[in-house]
Structure 1
Amino acid sequence: MSPSKQMASIAIFLFILFSLVIPMTAIPLRKSRPLNLLRRINRDGPYLGLITVYPPEEEAFFATNAFKPNPRHPFVDLSGRRFRVGKMNDKRVIYVRCGVGMVNAAATTQQMFDLFYINGIVHFGIAGNANNSMSIGDVTIPKEFAHTGIWDWLKPNGTLPSNDIAHLDIGSYNEPKEEGINLLGRIGYSNEQLFSSLSKPNVAEEVFWVQTNRDWVKLATNLEGMELEKCVNLSICLPEKPKLIVGLRGSTSNIFVDNQAYRKFLFDTFHVSSVDMESSAIVMVGLSNGCHVIVLRGLSDLAGGQKGNNGIFTFGSLAALNVAKAVVQFVKILPKHAKRG
């Protein structure tokens, strides 16, 4: 083969080689930029994870001015969410707003664990109040949560599974009572399956109540008696000073509860004081990763127990501010570098 033909063959070979290599390497190079940033951020860890839900809660949190952004790496944008890096009371934190509902809550929490060096989660937001002994504006720090949205929905005369925790006979709520047949039948409340890094792979524990971290809940009792806000503005105020209560129960489901009968059922059956759409998912993900988790919720409405419109539109901002203030104080008293587990 002549030298000119050899050079032509080499050129063709190199052209084909680069055509194959460049497309394969281009994607990893783009992905490597956030990965390199994450490595730099994690070298400064561990971090405390802070997770809230929707914009009014985020606005109230940043209005406290307790969060100080990291000047070198203030945030990372990943999968449509912004993870903010900073400090609160000399503790390194990663803050994110997860979005409404259990899927968003669970996905964001697991993403936080997968991407960052996290040693604990503080979740906070507003919630509906199912407990008549509590009031709008109060802050609750529950000791445990139930996922009250896992149902066996049966025909009117259907037989409930023996492992269901409780049941709701929809026909018993007919008005006038005992007239006609309610075709919606009955609902049985089922257990959750908890998978954990502390147990055998693919072996789930059947649970109905998932526990927040006992040590952190005990520590949070130091916040009882703290000063909370009473007024939305100069013209809208609560009749009494809000209070902070530790150690009650909460429920979570993908349901915005604004129904008096269902509110009463949840309290009478499960003795829950707050109802929300994210907390149990975040607690479960934390437990699955063997990590400390605590939840703080400001009560914005009566979950249907009120007359007229839902109070979230009037007192939601006040509840968000009160829970944000409680979060700031909790982080302040939290020891540094808490171990996982």
Structure 2
Amino acid sequence: MIGIIGAMQEEVDLLLAALQDFVEVERSGMRYYTGSLHGKNVTVGKCGVGKVNAAVYTQVMIDRFSVNKVLFTGVAGALDPELEIGDIVISTSCQQHDMDVTPLGYPKGVIPYQEVSDWPADPELVRIASEAGETAAPGRCRKGKVLSGDQFIADREVVKQLRETFGGACTEMEGAAVAQTCAMNQVPYVVIRSMSDKANGSASVNFAEFTVEASNRSYAIVHEMLKRI
């Protein structure tokens, strides 16, 4: 069973439109849809905003639906100045940028008493996502580190600091929670994010229009991935 988590309703709607013979289940106040997509058994749904929602949603997917792979899609803000609006970042790893125990001597982003705070994505899923991305969005995909925090980052100085401190390619609000939950359960994962803005804060697209474009692109990449998994 493959778990597919979308951050936007538009993404989930596209997946549900293609989902065959699905059953809707509610757990922990969240909705899950399990069925067949492009010949693969999948559980699909939207986790909601923030790390807690993402962690709970992912854990229920693993416990209730026995998913053995997790694909997470959505939008993110660029940290890498070379990324353009609409480009895709495929996670090499994920880390929480707002974990801060520096007064106790820990580097920023490090979770105390844990061996790992930067969770690697599954290399095979990264490879498959990269191949699917080149088919669905030629020349628009790159691999990089995804940073997560319960903050909407709009300050260009903060963008610069995150890039310099963590070497992140982009920042969003859920991926590291999905990554940590998957790692704790030994479930492979990959995060796929569309850039909604550039690292310099500039934007030349309407966000509502971009959401539709990003959702279509994410769906196309997931579609291509399912052919290869």
Q: TM-score, normalised by structure 1?
A: 0.62
Match of 1:259 in 2: 155
Q: Does 1:312 align with 2:211?
A: no
Q: Does 1:192 align with 2:111?
A: yes
Please tell me the residue identity of whatever aligns with 1:333: R
Q: Does 1:57 align with 2:6?
A: no
Q: 1:321 to 1:192 in 2, by over 3 A?
A: farther
Match of 1:277 in 2: 173
Match of 1:33 in 2: none
Please tell me the residue identity of whatever aligns with 1:243: R
Q: Distance in 2 between matches of 1:281 and 1:311?
A: 29
Q: Distance in 1 between matches of 2:201 and 2:15?
A: 28
Q: Percent identity?
A: 24
Please tell me the residue identity of whatever aligns with 1:80: G
Q: 1:301 to 1:68 in 2, by over 3 A?
A: farther
Q: Does 1:118 align with 2:71?
A: no
Match of 1:207 in 2: 116
Gaps of 5+ in 2: none
Measured after TM superposition, the shift of residue 253 of structure 1 is 0.3
Ranked by relative contact order (alpha carbons within 8 Å, sequence separation 6 or more), the top structure is: 2
Match of 2:41 in 1: 92
Q: Distance in 1 between matches of 2:10 and 2:168?
A: 24
The 5-angstrom pairing of residues 125-204 of structure 1 reads 125-152=74-101, 160-164=103-107, 189-192=108-111
Q: Distance in 2 between matches of 1:107 and 1:136?
A: 30
Please tell me the residue identity of whatever aligns with 1:331: L
The 5-angstrom pairing of residues 286-305 of structure 1 reads 286-302=182-198, 305=201
Which structure shows the higher strand fraction? Answer: 2
Gaps of 5+ in 1: 1-46, 154-159, 165-188, 194-203, 229-240, 335-341
Q: Distance in 2 between matches of 1:112 and 1:258?
A: 32
Measured after TM superposition, the shift of residue 78 of structure 1 is 2.2
Measured after TM superposition, the shift of residue 67 of structure 1 is 2.4
8 Å Cα contact 1:147-1:252 kept in structure 2: yes
Q: Please give the secondary structure, in 2, of the residue aligned with 1:115.
A: helix
Please give the root-mean-square deviation of Cα atoms over the aligned residues, in Å: 2.3
Q: Please give the secondary structure, in 2, of the residue aligned with 1:118.
A: coil
User: If you compute each CA radius of gyration, which structure gives the higher value, 1 or 2?
Assistant: 1
Q: Distance in 2 between matches of 1:112 and 1:262?
A: 33
Match of 2:21 in 1: 69
Please tell me the residue identity of whatever aligns with 2:105: S
8 Å Cα contact 1:131-1:272 kept in structure 2: yes
Q: 1:242 to 1:60 in 2, by over 3 A?
A: farther
8 Å Cα contact 1:279-1:295 kept in structure 2: yes
Q: Please give the secondary structure, in 1, of the residue aligned with 2:183.
A: helix
Q: TM-score, normalised by structure 2?
A: 0.90
